[in-house]
Amino acid sequence: MSIAHGSADAGARPEHLAASALLSLEGISLSFDGVRAIHDLSFDVAQGAICSLIGPNGAGKSSLLNVINGVYAPERGTIRFA
């Protein structure tokens, strides 16, 4: 799974975005009965940015959106929406 405007790698948060991000995820992890859907995902989306979420079937895209919208609570990590 990839965030098109930046990196989905853990610890790859651009420092210049951290203070002004509209949406900020830090260390998000989610599993379903041992199936790791999201592992230690961090990224920022700046206000006004257009970004895409891409990945193969089962990559965790829907799981991620459902963590952001509150359907699922992440096992670890924090989400901040300004």
> Where is 16: in which H helix or E strand?
helix 15-18
Give the separation between CA 20 and CA 47, rounded to whole angstroms.
8
Can you tell me which of 7, 20, 62, 78 binds ligand ATP, judged by CB under 6 A? 62
Q: Which of 18, 35, 51, 54 binds ligand ATP (CB under 6 A)?
A: 35
**CB under 6 A: which stretch of 5-13, 19-27, 57-65, 73-81 binds ligand ATP?**
57-65
Q: What angle do CA 18, 29, 52 make, to 5 degrees?
A: 60
State in angstroms the smallest separation of the CB of 44 from ligand ATP.
21
Assess contact for 48 and 59: CB atoms under 8 A: no
Residue from 9, 20, 51, 55 binding ligand ATP (CB under 6 A) = 55
